[in-house]
Every structure is written in structure tokens, then in C-alpha cells.
Amino acid sequence: MLGIKYPIIQGGMMWVGRAELAAAVSNAGGLGILTALTQPTPDALRQEIVRCREMTDKPFGVNITLLPSINPPPYDEYAQAAVESGIKVIETAGRSPEKYMPYFKKNGVKVIHKCTSVRHALKAERIGCDAVSVDGFECAGHPGEDDVTNLVLLPAAYAKLSIPIVASGGIANGQQMAAALALGAEGVNMGSRFVATKEAPVHQNMKQAMVDADELQTTLMFRTLKNTVRVFKNSISEKVVKIEAREGETDFSELQPLVAGVRGRERCIEAGDIDDGVWTVGMVMGLIQDIPSCEELIQRMVKDCNETISSRLRAML
């Protein structure tokens, strides 16, 4: 359906989903994803799509995350920029993409909507999404408020959906890919694992921190705000959690200087100070042992997935 060789998708990630990474994933046989809102304007997104096409002749997509905001980005213009640039796969997340579905369908765009619950996945199917990316509680970023892991969420969604499911959250290797396929997924979506690759446009300190950390090195913020987000456990995120633990209603104005996206981008992603801002990462860090190229990672995953299915599982029969 997506025109890719392997059922492996690089999820959209703020500040990370740029042409270098997306092209590397697509060249390796997966589906690279550019993150629309990483670009400051819709015209900048158009330029990034051109830049990505200069690096790959394989399919790649665009992520558009629809979030509630006092001053929302011009989502309509970002969607138009992607479609008019010839993008045929769009990953949506956050709010429902229902408003944009007629436009996407008219232009032959395949839509994969990221969902953290079965009820949201069913809604995505009803409005015409071509597939859903089912995001378990293990994931980086926003895992929703239900706290259901993929070992339960994937088969629960598979039992009720007729459109393809992509397993997202907590996946880093071929054994997990085989497990996801066994649970009903048609493929996998990885964010954190692709951050720890040679082509990812983040500071080497961040990549190494992911290798050095284990599965316990994340924390959940914004639980009191009903907008839970999983991030790297450091002094800043622990300070946020302590503020939220106080009695009474959480005042976001007190948190804002600590969690500002610009701070995380400039100090962590770009400058490499992994302790001076918040940055999203999943529990999957416990399975990340190296920093390969995207080609090396995908080839290893496919090989290990095939061996798990054809050798280990078959032997058990």
C-alpha cells in the first residue's frame, strides 16, 4: 500500500524528522517521515520535501500532529504544502484528521493516524483512514491516559478493526517486530530507535545517553494536566514531576520555562546537554545497545525477524 520494501516506518518526531533521517530510512527500504511542524512555515516544509527528494527516490511521508493550542499553527497550509508537493503518505497524530480527509482522499493520499486506544482507532477507521498506528503505553511522547501496553492494545485493536495496524511504541529489534506481526500488526513504527542512528540530526551526546540508559530512565510528566508525556529522566523532568506532586491544581505557568520546546531543542538536541531540558524518549532505551546506520538497523531487524519466525517459532511447533 505504501510502496515500501519492508514494513518499517520511522515515526514523525519534532525537531528530528528532517530530510537526512527520512531519506536514510527510505533508502534502507522503510518509510521515512518528515515532521511538518519542525519546519517554521509551510513554505519551509515544501523546501524540506525538495531536499529529501534530492537524497532519495524512494517513497517518504509527512507527519502532521494536530494539537489544541491558543495560537495554532496554520495546519491547513501545512497539509496543502505536503499534498501539493506530491506527498502520498501522511501520518496524523493528536486530534482527529477528519476535517482533512476529503482533501487527502481527493489527492490520493494514504493516511495513517496514530492512536493510543481502540476507541480512537475505530473512529479513525470510520472517517476513512487507511491504517492506524497503535501507540502503546511504552512509547515516547504522548501515550494517552489509558496506560495500556502494546501486548494488550495490539490484539485488542486487531480484534475490532478491518484496516491495517502498525505497531508503535517500545519497538527496537526484529524479535519485537515478529511479536508485533503475531499480535496482528502489518508493520512497525519506531521513533526512539531511529534517534539512536548515525543519520539522526541530534547531538551525539543524546544518542550515547540512549545507549547508556536502561528501560527505567524515563518519567511521565503532565499527568495532573491529563496530557501525559514520556520523557528522559533528568533533573529538569524530575523537577516538573515534583511540582505536579504538590497539593492543589498545577499551574502550568510555573512549568512552562522548564518544558519549553525551544529549550529542549537548543540545549539538548543541538547543544548536547541532555540534563538541561526535556526531551521525549521511550522505555525502549533499555534495548538500544549501539548507534548503527539506518541501513544497518533495518537489515538487522529484517534478518532477526525472519529468523525468529522461521527458526525459533517454527522449532516450538
Q: Are 187 and 216 contained in the same domain?
A: no
Structure confidence at residue 48 (pLDDT): 98
Structure confidence at residue 203 (pLDDT): 98
Q: Are 172 and 39 contained in the same domain?
A: yes
Query: Is 300 within a domain?
Result: no
- The three-state (H, E, C) secondary structure of 101-134, written as one string: HHHHHHCCCEEEEEECCHHHHHHHHHCCCCEEEE
Structure confidence at residue 312 (pLDDT): 85
Q: Are 163 and 249 contained in the same domain?
A: no
Q: Are 141 and 208 contained in the same domain?
A: no
Distance CA 193, CA 291 (A): 9
Distance CA 270, CA 316 (A): 47
Kindly give the residue spans of alpha helices, DSSP state H, lying in 173-293: 174-182, 192-195, 204-212, 235-244, 252-259, 261-263
Q: Are 195 and 96 contained in the same domain?
A: yes
- Let me know: does 284 contact 138? Beta carbons within 8 Å: yes
Query: Is 299 within a domain?
Result: no
Residue appearing with cell numbers 545517553: 209
Q: Are 147 and 88 contained in the same domain?
A: yes
- Let me know: does 154 contact 167? Beta carbons within 8 Å: yes
Q: Are 144 and 37 contained in the same domain?
A: yes
Structure confidence at residue 69 (pLDDT): 78
Query: Is 167 within a domain?
Result: yes
Whichever domain contains 65, its CATH number is: 3.20.20.70
Query: Is 309 within a domain?
Result: no
Query: Is 308 within a domain?
Result: no
Structure confidence at residue 293 (pLDDT): 98
Distance CA 67, CA 101 (A): 17
Q: 199, 232, 249 — which closes off a domain?
A: 199
Query: Is 25 within a domain?
Result: yes
Spell out the per-residue pLDDT of the chain, length 317, in tens: 999 999 999 999 999 999 999 999 999 999 999 999 999 999 999 999 999 999 999 999 999 999 887 789 999 999 999 999 999 999 999 999 999 999 999 999 999 999 999 999 999 999 999 999 999 999 999 999 999 999 999 999 999 999 999 999 999 999 999 999 999 999 999 999 999 999 999 999 999 999 999 999 999 999 999 999 999 999 999 999 999 999 888 888 999 999 999 999 999 999 999 999 999 999 999 999 999 999 999 999 999 999 999 988 888 88
Q: Are 178 and 230 contained in the same domain?
A: no
Question: In total, how many domains does the chain have?
Answer: 2
Query: Is 303 within a domain?
Result: no
The residues that bridge with 82 in the sheet, in sequence order, are: none
Q: Are 130 and 80 contained in the same domain?
A: yes
Q: Are 121 and 221 contained in the same domain?
A: no
Q: 168, 199, 230 — which closes off a domain?
A: 199
Q: Are 255 and 110 contained in the same domain?
A: no
Q: 167, 199, 231 — which closes off a domain?
A: 199
What is the extent of the structural domain holding 68? 8-199
Q: Are 208 and 154 contained in the same domain?
A: no
pTM: 0.96
First to last CA, the chain: 32
Query: Is 311 within a domain?
Result: no
